[in-house]
Amino acid sequence: MKYNFEQGIECANKMDEEDPLRSIIDRFYKVPGQIYMDGNSLGLCSKDAEKATLELLDVWKNEGINIWNVKDSKYFLYPSLLGGRMAKLINAESDEVTVTNSTTINIHQCIATLYKPTNKRYKILVDDLNFPTDRYAIDSQTRIHGYTVEEAVKVVPSPDGRMISEDAVIEAMTDDVAIALLPAVLYRSAQLLDMERITKAAKERGIIIGWDLCHSIGAVPHDFKRIDPDFAIWCTYKYLSAGPGSIAGLYMNKRHFGKQAGLAGWHGNKKSTQFQLKQSHEQESNADGFLTGTAPMLSMAAMEGVLDIYDDAGMERVREKSLKITAYLMYLIDQKLVKYGCEVGNPREDAVRGGHVALEHSEAYRICQDLKTRNVIPDFREPNVIRLAPTALYGTYEEVYHLVEILEDILLTKSYEQFSNTRALVV
Ligand SMILES: *Cc1c(COP(=O)(O)O)cnc(C)c1O
């Protein structure tokens, strides 16, 4: 989309005034004076999330073990209730989504359930830019089946360390590939893959395909009724802002309902017979069949609050603002920062980019240290990327304007030189 941005702050102020999500911003706790650009790593706390969490604490205080029964067993049914509401974000059927465990464990669950290697088809297809936990999980799943990683994990290499070639992914879908797991949006470069095209190619070749939505959920709407993948997983603490370590999402296409869960547990049992506590597992016939143990309820309540915000904001409006505010950031980078050796490392076109801007600079690490002392929260990714995520729900155009102003000062005065290049434990 073409926008008519201008360099002055008036342009930012006008866009803030006209922002259809303006009223949503006040529902979040923002530190006064701070420019928070890290909502793609950990979303900020909202009043809605806080309220839902406090409500749950109250129920615990007042009800004790009866928490399972109050409000028509709402909390016993919480995973399907929240999953059903979250399904709207990806246009899936409500019983195809549940919330449970962490992303990493959900990868294990989906692979353990759907990976049935044969002599001819035994490889798992991945790329080499995905977040490493996905790769660790895949590697270990092939080892469980007695393969070496070299034998059974097929890696599509990125041609440039930034992007994944969709053609190369499809070319790698040979007859020996059983399953593919790919990221919807790459965590470093923000590339958004053509999920529909890749999923279609996988299906034509008899390959089961799953998507990691960690960097797209809550920022990019998906149409799973159209894409029709086999499975998907995602965390909820990034754009979705459900809190540190909040529970993850799991989508299982209904054509796989009833397949025996690779990692079975008592909460995956049919609700109607769960408390009969039999020794034989009677699996629930929808996504809830892939639940395992007792849900960490306190980390789920915040999700309920956040989903109210998404209901009010609407995913389409979220995407619209996200594209506009990141386009504005890229525009200011082009106008003011490129001359200092900065480069935009993410794709430019709307159809192929997620919710953050990948600003590249050879001094990225030290620039991030400097930004933090100036009340800006960026996020650094090796080797040279400053990830900047002005989020749709609580970011403002004025913050983006000031961010670039601060970056310009840092680059002009080279003030980053006073910081050490030695990496901290958590960068
Ligand atoms: C953030 C992220 C994860 C995180 O996994 P956890 O199990 O929640 O720690 C996994 N995969 C991708 C692509 C991510 O961006």
Q: What is the CATH number of the domain that holds 66?
A: 3.40.640.10
Same domain flag for 271 and 256: yes
Question: Does the beta carbon of 274 lie inside 6 Å of ligand 1?
Answer: no
What the block records as the tokens of 277 is 């506590």
**60 Cβ contact list (under 8 Å, min separation 6):** 67
Residue with CA at minimum distance from ligand 1 atom 11: 131
Q: Which atom of ligand 1 is nearest to the CA of 248?
A: 8
In a domain, 39, yes or no: no
Which ligand 1 atom sits nearest the alpha carbon of residue 187?
15
Query: Pseudo-torsion of CA 250, 247, 94, 195, nearest 10°?
Result: -40
Residues in the chain with pLDDT values less than 50: none
288/146 same-domain check = yes
Q: Does residue 38 sit within a domain?
A: no
The residue segments making up the domain with residue 407 are: 9-30+314-418
Q: What is the pLDDT of residue 1?
A: 78
The answer to whether the predicted template modeling score (pTM) of the entire model surpasses 0.75 is: yes
Nearest to 402 by CA among 386, 416, 390: 390
How far is the centre of ligand 1, averaged over its atoms, from the C-alpha of 19 (Å)? 31
- Whether residue 216 lies inside any domain: the answer is yes
* Tally of domains in the chain: 2
Q: State whether the beta carbon of 127 lies less than 6 angstroms from ligand 1.
A: no
On the question of a cis peptide bond just before residue 383, with omega within 30 degrees of 0, the verdict is yes
* pLDDT for the residue 424: 84
Please give the sequence-ordered ranges of beta strands (E in DSSP) within 77-122, or none if there are none.
Answer: 97-99
The pLDDT assigned to 425 comes to: 84
Q: Do 243 and 180 fall within a single domain?
A: yes
List pLDDT tens digits, range 367-382: 999 999 999 999 999 8
Other Cβ atoms closer than 10 A to 319? 16
Same domain, 183 and 306: yes
350: DSSP letter: G
CATH classification of the domain holding 349: 3.90.1150.10
- Let me know: does 249 contact 97? Beta carbons within 8 Å: yes
Q: Which of 121, 138, 122 is nearest to 130 (CA)?
A: 138
Question: What is the three-class DSSP state of 289?
Answer: helix
94 close to ligand 1 (CB < 6 Angstrom):
no
pLDDT tens figures, 299-348: 899 999 999 999 999 999 999 999 999 999 999 999 999 999 999 999 99
